[in-house]
Structure 1
Amino acid sequence: MDFLSQHIEALIFCAQKPIKLADIQSCLTEMFETEVPEKDIVKSLEGIMEKYNNDTFPFEVTKIGGGYQFLTKPAYQASIGILLKQQSKKRLSTSALETLSIIAYKQPVTKSEIEQIRGVNCDYSVQKLLEKELIEIKGKSDAVGRPLLYGSSERFMDYFGINDLKDLPSPRDFAPQENVNEVVEKENPTSDTE
């Protein structure tokens, strides 16, 4: 493995969130005091990804959240599942997930708009999502009182393993299920004359 690849690996390893190609290039350019071509970085990244694709490693470099990050491989899901179960107190509540879903699909959105959709106060959920850095303040609305506008953060994409908001399932993918009685009637039509 070449010298450049080792520096790139170190940057990916030390980054607390997926590191973007531009950030890798910026760090390397400052370190080497000359611009490192993007094509050289991409070539090194491909080599690194191929290296960790080998079965001897329990982790790999994955492109996620618009950047690169070390992640464990699916084969180690059981042991990681135990760890995650033990850390389950950090999971999102149903109300937080509902609030986050509304923000992700409607962004930028005000708290009052979220509350209109959910039908309940969402102060606590919004606060928790801000603390977990899954949402961020995107500005202020032009509406009366200039309420804050909320949107998803880069950490949101990392948390859910997507690269872009376009990767979210379409709302039409969540078609409501037919009423059970309607299905039964379609399968067993009866006449009122019987």
Structure 2
Amino acid sequence: MSQPALELILEAALLAAGKPLSLERLRELFDEDRAPTNEALREALVRLGDSYAERAFELREVAGGWRLQVREDYTPWVSRLWEERPQRYSRAMLETLALIAYRQPITRGEIEDIRGVAVSSQIIKTLLEREWVRVVGHRDVPGRPAMFATTRQFLDYFNMRSLNELPPLATIRDIDQLEPELEFKDEGVDAAADQAPWMPVEPLKALDGEEGEETGFHALLDELKAMEANIKTDFDDLLPDEPDEDQAGS
């Protein structure tokens, strides 16, 4: 039996996986003595992506590898496959996630100092459970507070290959003009979403007027802007199993 074209094998694997596949994982599809090189895989993926130019789905590279997903233009129609109406993110959730993304690694106390209000334990728990953030160490100060950073799952969910693709803070200053809103799914909708991991993710938008909020999002952006140049853009030096390491200078 002759082997199909490399692009077709990769297409079949990506369709079956329903999640990003790295080049290393794609090479494991082949016998060791017949495995294509990473360069050959990349060339085949480019050809495959080009073949979808006029299709409703696309081939996208994210932090976890390559995946097939519905183009964002079709989200208004495809999203109607799920009847449950998801909730929106709260401003507190958005601000906490933004601080972790733009100033990582960061402790809960540092987040509270910038926002001016306490960070709900439920927010941290939710971010950890969704595997969007993780503990990467402990600050070498009294109490040794945990330091949080984003994960590859965070990048995959928001269609990014690295933190370098985070939008510049200047482009999101007018948060009220961002459309459409990102929605936070409850358990029922999340279960449906797990069956369609190829759905694209839309930009963030926060709820206004949350009780207890003392720091506006514009003020938060001002705080972050001075820190943007020092943003972490890799993961290899963020070691979750090194609690004694002082990463204060990271």
Matched, 1:93 2:120: no
Superposition pairs of residues 1-194 of structure 1, within 5 angstroms:
2-25=4-27, 27-28=28-29, 31-34=30-33, 35-55=35-55, 58-65=56-63, 67-83=65-81, 86-89=84-87, 91-122=88-119, 123-173=121-171, 174=173
* Displacement after TM superposition at 1:85 (Å): 8.0
SS in 2 for 1:71: strand
Separation in 2, partners of 1:163, 1:116: 30
Q: Which has the higher contact order (CA 8 A, sep 6+)?
A: 2
| Distance of 1:84 and 1:141 partners within structure 2 | 43
Cα distance between partner residues in 2 of 1:15 and 1:65 = 16
TM superposition score normalised by structure 2:
0.60
**Equivalent residues of 1:140, 1:147 under 8 A apart:** yes
SS at match of 2:135: strand
The 1:109–1:65 alpha-carbon spacing in structure 2 relative to 1, beyond 3 Å, is same
Superposition deviation, residue 13 in structure 1: 2.4
Runs of 4+ in 1 over 6 A off after TM superposition: none
For normalisation by structure 1, the TM-score amounts to 0.75
Contact (CA 8 Å) 2:64, 2:153: kept in 1 or not?
A: no
- How far 1:47 sits from its partner (Å)? 2.1
Aligned length: 171
SS at match of 1:9: helix
RMSD across aligned C-alpha pairs, in angstroms?
Answer: 2.6
- Determine helix, strand or coil for the equivalent of 1:13: helix
Q: What percent of counterpart residues are identical? A: 30
Paired residues of 1:60 and 1:71 also in contact (CA < 8 A): yes
CA distance, structure 2, for counterparts of residue 143 and residue 114 of structure 1? 16
Counterpart amino acid of residue 127 in structure 2: L
Task: Provide the residue aligned with 2:208 in structure 1.
Answer: none
Q: 2 CA distance for matches of 1:2 and 1:51? A: 16
**Compared CA separation, residues 105 and 11, structure 1 to 2 (3 A):** same
Larger radius of gyration: 1
- What amino acid is aligned across from residue 32 of structure 1 in structure 2? D
- Give the aligned residue type for 2:59: V
Alpha-carbon distance between aligned partners in 2 of 1:149 and 1:85, rounded to the nearest angstrom? 38
Unpaired runs of at least 5, structure 2: 175-217, 220-250
Instruction: Give the conservation status (yes or no) of the 8 Å contact 2:62–2:160.
Output: yes
Q: Provide the C-alpha distance between the structure 1 equivalents of 2:41 and 2:89, rounded to a whole number of angstroms.
A: 36
Moved more, 12-21 or 154-163: 12-21
More helix by share: 1
Moved more, 66-75 or 39-48: 66-75
Name the SS of the counterpart of 2:167 in structure 1. Answer: coil
Partner SS, residue 144 of structure 1: coil
